[in-house]
Amino acid sequence: MAAEKINIAVFASGSGSNAENLVHYFKNHDAIHVKIIISNNPSAGVLERAKRLGITSMIVDKELLHNEHALTAILDEQNIKFIVLAGFLLKIPDWMVRRYKDKIINIHPSLLPKYGGKGMYGIRVHEAVREAREYETGITVHLVNEHYDEGRILMQAKCKVTEDMSAEDIAEKVHALEYSYFPVAIAHHILNFRD
Ligand code: GRF
- pTM of the predicted protein model: 0.96
Residue 187's pLDDT is what? 98
- Specify whether the CB–CB gap between 96 and 77 falls below 8 A: no
- Specify whether the CB–CB gap between 22 and 48 falls below 8 A: no
- The answer, yes or no, to whether any atom of ligand 1 lies below 6 A from the CB of 87, is yes
Residue 149's pLDDT is what? 86
- Specify whether the CB–CB gap between 44 and 72 falls below 8 A: no
C-alpha 170 – ligand 1 centre gap (Å) = 13
Which residue's alpha carbon is at the smallest distance from atom 6 of ligand 1? 87
Rounded Cα distance, 116 and 120, in Å: 5
- The answer, yes or no, to whether any atom of ligand 1 lies below 6 A from the CB of 18, is yes
Specify whether the backbone of 45 is left (phi greater than 0), alpha (psi in -120 to 50) or beta. alpha
Residue 148's pLDDT is what? 83
* Residue ranges in the chain whose pLDDT is less than 70: 1-2
Residue 1's pLDDT is what? 60
46 Cβ neighbours under 8 A, 6+ residues apart: 12, 13, 14, 15, 16, 19, 20, 37, 39, 57, 87
Which residue's alpha carbon is at the smallest distance from atom 3 of ligand 1? 87
Which residue's alpha carbon is at the smallest distance from atom 5 of ligand 1? 87
Q: What are phi and psi of 30, to 5 degrees?
A: -85, -10
C-alpha 15 – ligand 1 centre gap (Å) = 8
For the stretch 117-158, pLDDT in tens is 888 999 999 999 999 999 999 999 999 999 888 899 999 999
Rounded Cα distance, 4 and 98, in Å: 25
From residue 190, how far is each of 2, 15, 27, 138, 187 by CA, in Å? Answer: 18, 25, 16, 22, 5
- Specify whether the CB–CB gap between 64 and 43 falls below 8 A: no
